[in-house]
């Protein structure tokens, strides 16, 4: 709501600015004509005395108004660093205002506790309809408090401010799927690493295993090697430490 008020105030400022710009920057000349005016302003008809009082063009008012508009948008800035950014044309995000809304505060807390959560998951757990949820997610994104990551057709949300690097976000997103988590766990523990063994251990079809492996290979999380007729799956060494830490932290 505060953001909407802020937008309304800015629009009002712009409207006032353009109105005053048209009025104050106009040139004007004032005359006293005696004994009577003619059709041509300031012209003498029968030798009357014409006195030109003032000829002025207002430009300094425009600069003053521009400064006032800028200052009015900075009233809540208390620190010199923020003042510099505002003068340069940047808006400093106030995260405390973004979290004044209880629903938005709860959404942020949910994403912080469960990184990689997606819209339907958040909506179901918090009892929100998706329209309301997307509205609050958009505000949190605008305030740079969360960021979105697309994985396998789903948009997942993470706490921002460089909380997670790209590898961590990919691994966390992969782990959110239960079947993918079981596959990675079995390979990580070296209990089984072939399509047939994984299908038998987890209790799903080999085609389902192949589908999950395709997604993991596209992310470079999994590597495959041929040994005769068998395809051996291994975790990419680049991701191994991230996978181990993520599994222990969130899922073990």
Report the pLDDT averaged over residues 64-82: 57
Residue 184's closest CA among 151, 218, 209?
209
Q: Where do the DSSP E strands lie in 116-181?
A: 117-118, 146-151, 154-159
Q: What is the SS3 assignment for 27?
A: strand
Higher pLDDT, 163 or 39: 163
Question: What is d(CA 40, CA 150) in angstroms, rounded to the nearest whole number?
Answer: 71
Look at residue 57 in the predicted model and tell me its pLDDT: 52
Residue 195's closest CA among 164, 142, 233, 248?
233
Residue 114's closest CA among 128, 129, 125, 127?
125
pLDDT over 70 at 150, yes or no? yes
pLDDT over 70 at 231, yes or no? yes
Look at residue 2 in the predicted model and tell me its pLDDT: 44
Report the pLDDT averaged over residues 76-105: 60
Q: 107 is written with which tokens? A: 């959404």
Q: Where are the domains of the chain?
A: 2-37+47-91, 96-163, 169-251
Report the pLDDT averaged over residues 240-250: 84
pLDDT over 80 at 200, yes or no? yes
Q: Tens of pLDDT along 15-44?
A: 665 565 555 555 545 545 455 455 555 555
Q: What is the CATH topology of the domain spanning 169-251?
A: Arc Repressor Mutant, subunit A (1.10.10)
Look at residue 1 in the predicted model and tell me its pLDDT: 46
Higher pLDDT, 73 or 136: 136
pLDDT over 70 at 74, yes or no? no
Higher pLDDT, 7 or 10: 10
Half-sphere exposure of 115 (CA within 13 A, CB side): 25
The residues near 35 (Cβ < 8 Å, ≥ 6 apart) are 48
Q: What is the CATH topology of the domain spanning 96-163?
A: Arc Repressor Mutant, subunit A (1.10.10)
Q: pTM for this structure?
A: 0.54
Q: Do 96-163 and 169-251 have matching folds?
A: yes
């Amino acid at each position: 709501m505060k953001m909407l008020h802020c937008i309304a105030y800015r629009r009002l400022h712009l409207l006032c600015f353009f109105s005053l710009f048209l009025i104050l920057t106009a040139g004007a000349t004032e005359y006293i004509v005696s004994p009577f005016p003619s059709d041509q302003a300031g012209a003498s008809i029968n030798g009357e005395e014409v006195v030109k009082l003032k000829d002025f063009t207002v430009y300094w008012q425009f600069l003053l108004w521009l400064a006032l508009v800028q200052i009015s948008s900075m009233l809540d800035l208390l620190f010199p660093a923020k003042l510099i950014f505002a003068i340069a044309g940047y808006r400093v995000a106030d995260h405390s205002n973004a979290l004044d809304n209880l629903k938005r505060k709860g959404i942020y807390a949910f994403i912080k506790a469960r990184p990689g959560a997606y819209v339907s998951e958040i909506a179901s757990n918090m009892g929100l309809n998706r329209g309301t949820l997307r509205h609050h997610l958009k505000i949190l994104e605008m305030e740079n408090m969360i960021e979105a990551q697309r994985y396998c057709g789903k948009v997942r949300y993470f706490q921002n401010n460089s909380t997670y690097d790209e590898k961590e976000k990919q691994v966390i997103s992969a782990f959110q799927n239960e079947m993918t988590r079981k596959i990675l766990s079995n390979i990580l523990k070296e209990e089984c690493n072939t399509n047939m063994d994984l299908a038998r251990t987890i209790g799903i079809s080999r085609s389902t295993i192949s589908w999950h492996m395709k997604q993991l290979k596209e992310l470079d999380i999994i590597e495959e090697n041929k040994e005769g007729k068998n395809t051996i799956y291994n975790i990419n060494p680049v991701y191994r430490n991230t996978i181990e830490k993520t599994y222990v932290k969130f899922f073990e």
